[in-house]
Amino acid sequence: MADDEQTFWVPLRFRDVDAFGHVYHAEFLTLLDEARTRWLRDVLRLERPSDHVLARVELDYVSSIVAADDAVCADVRLERVGTSSLTLAETMRVRDGRVVSRGRVVIVLRDVERGVSRPLTDDERARAVALLAGDPG
Amino acid sequence: MADDEQTFWVPLRFRDVDAFGHVYHAEFLTLLDEARTRWLRDVLRLERPSDHVLARVELDYVSSIVAADDAVCADVRLERVGTSSLTLAETMRVRDGRVVSRGRVVIVLRDVERGVSRPLTDDERARAVALLAGDPG
Amino acid sequence: MADDEQTFWVPLRFRDVDAFGHVYHAEFLTLLDEARTRWLRDVLRLERPSDHVLARVELDYVSSIVAADDAVCADVRLERVGTSSLTLAETMRVRDGRVVSRGRVVIVLRDVERGVSRPLTDDERARAVALLAGDPG
Amino acid sequence: MADDEQTFWVPLRFRDVDAFGHVYHAEFLTLLDEARTRWLRDVLRLERPSDHVLARVELDYVSSIVAADDAVCADVRLERVGTSSLTLAETMRVRDGRVVSRGRVVIVLRDVERGVSRPLTDDERARAVALLAGDPG
């Protein structure tokens, strides 16, 4: 695991599963949201990690997730740093090591009070650049 | 149907159905919320019908709802008018006439800007009292 | 805490929160479902704890839940044992000890393959009766 | 509008909106699912239009959706036909004409009983090829 990758577990809920007995495809995004927000809090150390919006998502569904999988984790890797945006590569796995999805999101940081996007602060940018530099890939 | 009852159809979504092939029990509340808010808008004629919170719910699950049911409707009947609260009896049905739930909620009107409950206005109270009076039950 | 009560933590998700900044009222049922199913697995020791349906719910919303509450737990107490049904009293709390809901559900055990309700087994009934007897209330 | 495009309206629910007052990003997929399944039923005329899974999604979030938007529609355009898969380009709009998302999904048809993917039937393939041929793009 690269230095800039961290693993977080998100427990599944019965409600995540759809009529086919698999976690519903839109819930992959809900689960990734939880993992990503913790990464933004604990790795990039944003003060208000929820205050962002998605600008783009690409997701390959690699394997279905079933209730018995119990929880998912996502490896998050920073790919690109923009003025207000971050591009993150995300691989979601279950406890047996099976990869269930691979994807990429572009998120934009928000100033929620003012209702506009906001640039990264100098500290955030410094940490982001360090994460990029530490990426062996 | 009593004068104070109105019927509204809410289309089901694939996502409402759970791993057993039935609409998930918590989604009954989501569906009732849609029907109730339209009743608050169209019958009680609240200006901001979404601005309320639930204080209590009682719900009997009478019949499961399946995807083929396609949509639900709810008959809403006003049972009691408080200073800021309304008690509503709600019966949910599907297109073949089958009753799927019977219940009762207590809602409290909210002043969302100030974050507090608000009393009914005189106009709202007058309409509510008229609805109660017209109830043959 | 009574012997038959157990506490389980369910982490909140950003998605649980609605447009008013509070956990949506229907999600209280989703959260309680997680806590209840773990109680059915760990305390009543059902082999397939998810295999049940709700027959009735009564819920008083005592306090709103916000994102900062982070997780909820529910104390589950067995109140009544029927042939195929259980009545459970459930109190949900957040980490600061605040009670957020109090309620009661009637659940019916299901034979999912056959699509019918199923009676408690002798072992399950014995454990349920012991839980009832140990209840100081 | 191309011949192979059809417009379907999906009403929003209060629950679709998140803590920022916008439809939650994962719900874009839920809404698109409804529109897509109707397209599979009414345009491609699959007998069991829900019986498919997502293999991939790409989605650009163009504009946020708010409760006042009331409903969304999606233009679905067939881009590619595989043995068991279809690639669909989807543009979601609200009533004022604003585009809220643009994206592309790859879906795989499922034989739900056998739990495997299934090839398009000859009739389905003929309709799909005709839709492709009619595409001026």
Closest Cα in chain A to B24: A15
Q: What are phi and psi of A112, to 5 degrees?
A: -65, -40
Q: Is residue D2 one of the residues assigned to a domain?
A: no
Q: Is residue B1 one of the residues assigned to a domain?
A: no
Confidence of residue B7 (pLDDT cuts 50, 70, 90): low
The residues pairing with A101 across neighbouring beta strands, listed in sequence order, are A61, A92
ipTM value = 0.92
Confidence of residue A136 (pLDDT cuts 50, 70, 90): very low
> Cβ D10–B15 below 8 Å, yes or no?
no
Contact of A68 with chain C, judged by CB distance below 8 Å, is answered with no
Contact of A68 with chain B, judged by CB distance below 8 Å, is answered with no
Domain count, chain C: 1
Q: What is the pLDDT of residue B4?
A: 40
Dihedral sign computed on CA atoms, order D90, D96, D97, D101: negative
Dihedral sign computed on CA atoms, order B35, C59, B78, B44: negative
> Cβ D59–A56 below 8 Å, yes or no?
yes
Strands A52-61, A99-111: pairing kind = antiparallel
Q: What is the pLDDT of residue A5?
A: 46
Q: What is the pLDDT of residue C32?
A: 98
A57, two tokens:
């998502």
Q: Is residue B4 one of the residues assigned to a domain?
A: no
Q: What is the pLDDT of residue C134?
A: 82
Q: What are phi and psi of D83, to 5 degrees?
A: -65, -50
Write the CA distances from A14 to B24, C36, C67, D9, integer angstroms. Answer: 10, 11, 21, 29
Contact of B64 with chain D, judged by CB distance below 8 Å, is answered with no
Residues of chain B numbered 16-55 and touching chain D (CB < 8 Å): 30, 33-34, 37, 50
Buried-exposed string C46-68: b where 16+ CB fall within 10 A, e elsewhere: beebbbbbbbbbbbbbbebbeee
Neighbours of B45 (CB within 10 A): 11
User: Which pTM value belongs to this model?
Assistant: 0.93
Contact of B67 with chain A, judged by CB distance below 8 Å, is answered with yes
Do C81 and C73 form a contact (C-beta atoms < 8 A)? Answer: no
CA distance D111 to D38: 19
How much helix, strand and coil, in percent to the nearest 5, is found in chain A?
25, 40, 35
Q: Is residue A1 one of the residues assigned to a domain?
A: no
Burial class (CB in 10 A: 0-12, 13-18, 19+), D65: buried
Q: What is the pLDDT of residue C1?
A: 42
Any chains having at least 3 CB pairs less than 8 A from chain D are A, B, C
Do C67 and C52 form a contact (C-beta atoms < 8 A)? Answer: no
In chain D, how many H helices and how many E strands?
A: 2, 6
Write the CA distances from B35 to B2, B29, C87, integer angstroms. Answer: 17, 10, 29
CA distance C29 to C53: 13
Mean pLDDT of chain B: 92
DSSP C45-103: --SSTT-EEEEEEEEEE-S---GGG-EEEEEEEEEEE-SSEEEEEEEEEETTS-EEEEE
> Cβ A25–D64 below 8 Å, yes or no?
no
Digit-coded pLDDT (tens) for D11-64: 999 999 999 999 999 999 999 999 999 999 999 999 899 999 999 999 999 999
Q: At what angle do helices D25-42 and A25-42 cross, to 10 degrees?
A: 160
Closest Cα in chain C to B100: C55
pLDDT per residue, tens digit, chain C (137 aa), is 443 445 689 999 999 999 999 999 999 999 999 999 999 999 999 989 999 999 999 999 999 999 999 999 999 999 999 999 999 999 999 999 999 999 999 999 999 999 899 999 999 999 999 999 885 43
Determine the residue among D60, D64, D65, D105 to mutate to test chain A binding: the one whose Cβ has the most chain A Cβ atoms within 10 Å: D60
Q: What is the pLDDT of residue A130?
A: 95
CA distance B18 to B65: 11
- Closest to A17 (Cβ–Cβ): which among B14, B18, B67? B18
Average pLDDT over every residue of A35-46? 95
Q: Is residue C2 one of the residues assigned to a domain?
A: no
Largest CA distance in chain C: 47
H or E segment and range at residue C33: helix C25-42
Nearest CA distance, A31 vs chain C (angstrom): 9
CA distance D30 to D3: 25
% of chain D surpassing 70 pLDDT: 93
- Closest to B67 (Cβ–Cβ): which among A19, A21, A26? A19
Residues of chain B numbered 69-128 and touching chain C (CB < 8 Å): 110, 112
A124, two tokens:
């955030």
B111, two tokens:
């002043």
Determine the residue among B50, B51, B60, B100 to mutate to test chain C binding: the one whose Cβ has the most chain C Cβ atoms within 10 Å: B60
Which CATH number goes with the domain that contains C118?
3.10.129.10
CA distance A26 to D12: 16
Q: Is residue B3 one of the residues assigned to a domain?
A: no
Q: What is the pLDDT of residue A8?
A: 80
Digit-coded pLDDT (tens) for B110-121: 999 998 999 999
The residues pairing with B74 across neighbouring beta strands, listed in sequence order, are B92
Neighbours of B98 (CB within 10 A): 13
One-letter amino acid for residue B49 of the chain? P
Neighbours of D114 (CB within 10 A): 8
Q: What is the pLDDT of residue D136?
A: 45
Residue with tokens 């409290």: B108
| Closest C-alpha to C28, from C38, C19, C41, C17 | C17
Q: Is residue D51 one of the residues assigned to a domain?
A: yes
Do B69 and B94 form a contact (C-beta atoms < 8 A)? Answer: yes
Q: Is residue C1 one of the residues assigned to a domain?
A: no
Choose between A36 and C6: higher pLDDT: A36
Q: Chain A residues with CB inside 8 Å of D57's CB?
A: 25, 57-59, 61
Phi-psi region of A21 (alpha: psi -120 to 50; beta: other; left: phi over 0): left
Q: What is the pLDDT of residue B80?
A: 97
**B with C: how many residue pairs have Cβ under 8 Å apart?**
60
Host domain of residue B66 = 9-133
Q: What is the pLDDT of residue C73?
A: 96
Mean pLDDT of chain D: 92
Do A50 and D53 form a contact (C-beta atoms < 8 A)? Answer: no
- Does A116 have pLDDT greater than 60? yes
